[in-house]
A and B are shown apart, each in its own frame.
Chain A
């Protein structure tokens, strides 16, 4: 599954400092990126946010206990540095000043509040409720998934969706009809597709893997693909990302003004409607509603879209529910006559098969063995663990596998250790000789 880049983290970590500095100018973005971090990362940020001087690396290490604690600290800081929230210089950790300022604003409600979306001031004549939005989001998203497995009930998804499906390699219009080229401009590709009228699109291997992901991962995968496309369409990446993160901070069931959006973001809104991420009654309407797909983007919790709507349906129609309908709610398996089975609601089992297929996990390494003394082995292991380069170890057999990047450092450590041992032995012998002599 490694080919399938779905993580927003991986994507963010490829961006340069300048992009981050522009992103962090919006409090909503700071909060969203914070919410995407693992608990330890959040803890470190919260502990440092109101410290106005750089924090010495050694001081921060005191917050952590033992070897495992320090290893976790190292990992967390690596992540925070990749996101340019912290930088390390001359033994001090310094926080990104723009991030600090805007994240404080996010927490205290200061600064430019529009980054969290501008709630409309007048009530909506055509107000819609949460159940409606869930239903809408489910329908739109399921329509895309149904289209991918070839069981479209209504009309096929709009061109924007088809384009994205084709461009991301989730579907093809047959191997020969559309040449797949990585360096092709999005515009070229779109016109190619229009010319071929997309033929009969077929799901690809990657598309199958996509179906096996949970819905949050799927949505992000779509959005990441969109970002890649945005770059080649000369859309401003920061505006697109800012809008994604803003969506994540909106409140489900509220409507927001679309009048403060930039032209790029207005264009974006159109596309996101097609995925069911936002709802807008009609094109050009002055307000829009985020759906659950949007508001859970940065929460890190599973979307549970299906189960929520099911629950709503249950309560609304409990009395007239037949067994058949109940079956319907629990998902389905589609069988095709070529004996392939398509399913996207029994995800866990299928994921297990996928893992099973990936049976060997090889890593290049150096195997260290034949340590003369246990204390030599233990010392080396401790040193290597601190560097984070131990892949496997067995103290009884006095063997350890060291990552290739740690080989030089560990090798030097051992050479010094052996030299020291020799010197000590020699001193010991001389003392012995001296004492015998007298």
Chain B
């Protein structure tokens, strides 16, 4: 029987996709892992997901220290 589920399909780079999979272990929001660059998630998680990903990627970015 065909099933239809409402949600959000997120398109992203494979690297970002891996981060999303990592985040999913903390709180389960992925409904279906589609492929390397697509993941189907619960609509309510998008904003938090953006914040989390920015945070993680910014940690890996070189920052010039503020002069004291």
Contacts and interface: CB of A to CB of B under 8 A. Distances in A.
Interface of A: 339, 359-372, 376, 380, 391-392, 394, 399, 401-402, 404, 407, 411, 414, 418
B42 to A, nearest CB: 11
Interface residues of B, number: 28
10 contacts: A361-B10, A361-B12, A363-B8, A364-B8, A370-B2, A370-B3, A371-B2, A401-B9, A401-B40, A407-B4
Given A376-B2, A404-B6, 14 more contacts: A359-B54, A360-B11, A360-B16, A360-B50, A363-B11, A366-B6, A367-B31, A367-B40, A368-B2, A369-B2, A369-B32, A370-B3, A391-B9, A401-B34
Interface of B: 1-13, 16, 31-32, 34-35, 38, 40, 43, 46, 49-50, 53-54, 57, 64
B3 A368 contact: yes
B34 A394 contact: yes
The 9 closest A-B pairs by CB, nearest first: A361-B11, A365-B9, A339-B64, A401-B9, A370-B3, A362-B8, A362-B10, A367-B5, A366-B4
Contacts of B4: 366-368, 402, 407, 411
Q: Most chain-A Cβ atoms within 10 A of its Cβ — which of B2, B4, B35?
A: B2
A369 B10 CA distance: 17
Given A365-B7, A365-B40, A401-B40, A359 B12 contact: yes
B49 to A, nearest CB: 7
A404 B4 CA distance: 11
B1 A372 contact: yes
Contacts of A399: 32, 34
A380 B2 CA distance: 11
B3 A369 contact: yes
B9 A362 contact: yes
Nearest to A393: B34
B34 to A, nearest CB: 6
Contacts of B54: 359
B53 A360 contact: yes
Given A359-B13, A369-B3, A364 B43 contact: yes
A377 to B, nearest CB: 9
B12 A392 contact: no
